[in-house]
Amino acid sequence: MQLIKFEYLGNDTCHTASGLVVVIDVIRAFSNAAYAFQAGAESITLVSGVEEALALKAAMPGSLAIGEVGGLPPAGFDFGNSPTEIVQQDLRGKHLIQRTGAGTQGVVRCVNAEQLFAASFAVAGATVRAIQKLSPPQVTFVITGRGFGDEDLSCAEYIAACLGGTNPDPQHYLERVHKSREAQLDALKIPGFSSDIDYCTRLDACDFAMPIQRENGRPVMRALRPTLDT
């Protein structure tokens, strides 16, 4: 088995990352994105600003804007950053535009990545399998949570352990999400957050990875489904 080198960066330094890069946001951007794909979304364009998201929505008839500022949906957005909300939607064939304070910022800043994935526990196993097929010598994880958030670091370390050939106990990593500073803070300010955190800690709830490609100069994420793409 090829040994893989792992590196861990935050949003402030991820612009230096090259090769294969995995941007992680467990609470809640890339958990929400995973469930949006599960609800039928065709693609998700990732942006850094609210006005940018709204302008792109206006330029793409039928598209929907999702995301948050300070944990809550901005005016003009169709949905917030809540997996509890998004799983109830019929998004078949829809093109989404996502803006969040952490996850999408990391993606937008990874300007030197050659291969780019977004990840959370919901797609951890599929992400491992997708990376294994690429056989990279190094994987760089971008920890997007505030203060190098332990919820995201936990997911990165779980994926790294799986790539390293061990059989890690997922419960240990999932418990770190519940105990993380991000989870504690968001529970105080976001209505219905307890349901969201349940969705965020459903390991391998989705059977696809979430690779990102540049289309017309913007990062666009799609679901890499095993039955269609392998």
Q: Is 177 helix (H, G, I), strand (E, B) or coil?
A: helix
* Integer Cα distance of 109 and 125 in angstroms: 25
* Integer Cα distance of 206 and 197 in angstroms: 16
Cβ burial, residue 89 (10 Å; 0-12/13-18/19+): middle
- pLDDT at residue 230 in the model: 44
* Integer Cα distance of 193 and 66 in angstroms: 17
Residue 136 contacts residue 4 (beta carbons within 8 Å) = yes
Q: E-strand spans in 103-168?
A: 113-119, 138-143
Q: 221 in the Ramachandran plot: left (φ > 0), alpha (ψ -120 to 50) or beta? A: beta
- pLDDT at residue 229 in the model: 45
* Integer Cα distance of 102 and 22 in angstroms: 14
- Phi then psi for residue 115, to 5 deg, are -135, 130
Q: Hey, what domains does the chain have and what are their CATH numbers?
A: 5-220 (3.90.1560.10)
Element (H, E) at 170: helix 170-179
Residue 81 contacts residue 73 (beta carbons within 8 Å) = yes
* Integer Cα distance of 158 and 18 in angstroms: 21
Structure tokens at 22: 């995995």
pLDDT in tens, the chain (230 residues): 568 999 999 999 999 999 999 999 999 999 999 999 999 999 999 999 999 999 999 999 999 999 999 999 999 999 999 999 999 999 999 999 999 999 999 999 999 999 999 999 999 999 999 999 999 999 999 999 988 999 999 999 999 999 999 999 999 999 999 999 999 999 999 998 999 999 999 999 999 999 999 999 999 999 999 854 44
Q: pTM (2 decimals)?
A: 0.96
Residues with Cβ within 8 Å of 50's Cβ and at least 6 positions away in sequence, in order, are 69, 74, 76, 77, 99
Place of tokens 């670091």: 153
